[in-house]
Amino acid sequence: STGICEGKQSLLVEIKHLVSCIERESQFMDHLEEQMSKYLRRIPYSQSILSIKGIGEVTVAGLIGEVGDFMQYRRIPEIMKLAGLEPKMTFFEPLVQ
C-alpha cells in the first residue's frame, strides 16, 4: 500500500472516540424523546394535535412549549395572533402584467 503510514494508530483512536461520542449522543436523544413522549401523554389535547398528518411529537412539544397551555385561549384568533397571522380573511386580486 502507498501513502502516509505515520499516524494511522492515532487516527484510529480518534475515529473510535468520535463513534463513541455519536453513540452516546444518540442514546441521550433517545432518552429525551422517551421523556418527551411521556410528558405529551399527560397533556390531554396533545393527542389531537398529533392526529394532524405530518405533525410529530417533536413538533407538538415545540408548539406547546412556545404557545403554552392551549386551554388558556378562548378563541382561535388569539392563537393565530401569536403566529403573527391576521385573523380576518383577505383576498388578493391576481397581478396583471
- pLDDT digits (tens), the chain, 97 positions: 566 677 888 899 999 999 999 999 999 999 999 999 999 999 999 999 999 999 999 999 999 998 888 888 888 888 888 878 775 655 555 545 5
The grid cell for 13 is 483512536
**Residue holding cell 386580486?**
93
Determine the pLDDT at residue 9.
87
Angle at 83 between CA 77 and CA 47, to 5 degrees: 80
Domain ranges of the chain: 8-82
Q: Is the pTM of this model over 0.75?
A: no
